Structure 1
């Protein structure tokens, strides 16, 4: 309740509007800095082209720059493809941990109400026993068909 009151008072005092104005000004300044940095990089690339064209000729320099940019683009795509799988696995682990924490929290929140109910602790223990049984089942399941000769899973 105190957080809500402080939020309302911040809105009423105009502090939130000042924060939004500062954030907007910062975004504009960073955007302008990015445009200027990209322009500087463009001029540096142009200067490198002029210098190399005077040394090796315009055709060889154009071919070199073209191949260089294509190699950079291919590297970026390759790195993205390699890291996409890692990011997906990380998101899945985080989602699983969040769902587990949510389930435990919900179970703990319902435990006092179930203990006071007509079924008593039996109503609370049945889902816990089912979860434990499912966890044991998942742990004991093999990843593939069993090989009768070796007794191992493949």
Structure 2
């Protein structure tokens, strides 16, 4: 039995080592491909610069490239900020839904215990009626527009 376990563990560890080796090789190859792609993009930018310098002059081309790269950087930062805010709102909604589900689960778990207690359903009825009254109040009240200062107009 011991030799079977050692054989299985040897196979498993051999498979794990082979998977690690394949992952390492893949990462190295992707890194090299990315490096060569960046070099290619650099040469293309250089070629565009040379072509535009012959057409518009070195100062105008340098200013154009500088402004273009700054605009691209600004767009990247704006897009990143929008994505982060969308993700944080999504996380907040998910967290709120999880908390609501946990609250409902806890309430349902305590329901039989409270129903059998000395106070009985009276203990449950008061908070339920208060929550219902608050929901009706919120639904029927409209937010008032802010008062305008007569000196502003």
Report the TM range for the smaller structure's normalisation: 0.5 to 0.7
Distance 1:121 1:79 in 2: 54
Q: Structure 1 76/146 Cα, relative in aligned 2: closer, same or farther at 3 Å?
A: closer
Q: Structure 1 69/132 Cα, relative in aligned 2: closer, same or farther at 3 Å?
A: same
Give the structure 2 partner of residue 69 of structure 1. Answer: 69
Distance 1:30 1:112 in 2: 59
Q: Structure 1 130/29 Cα, relative in aligned 2: closer, same or farther at 3 Å?
A: farther
Give the structure 2 partner of residue 132 of structure 1. Answer: 132
1:78-117 deviations in Å (ceiling 9; x for gaps): 4445556555544443333222222212111211222222
1:55-98 deviations in Å (ceiling 9; x for gaps): 33322221111111122223334444555655554444333322
Runs of 5+ consecutive residues of structure 1 not aligned to the other structure: 1-12, 148-154
Distance 2:80 2:52 in 1: 31
Higher mean alpha-carbon deviation, 48-57 vs 103-112, is at 48-57
Rg comparison, structure with higher value: 2
Matches within 5 A, 1:88-103: 88-103=88-103
Distance 1:133 1:23 in 2: 63
Distance 1:106 1:34 in 2: 52
Q: What TM-score, normalized to structure 2?
A: 0.62
Report the alpha carbon displacement of residue 30 of structure 1 after superposing the two structures with TM.
Answer: 4.9
Matches within 5 A, 1:1-154: 21=20, 25=24, 30-80=30-80, 86-144=86-144
Query: Alpha carbon RMSD of aligned pairs, Å?
Result: 3.6
Tell me the number of residue pairs that the alignment of Structure 1 and Structure 2 aligns.
Answer: 135
Structure 1 runs, 4 residues or longer, greater than 6 Å off: none
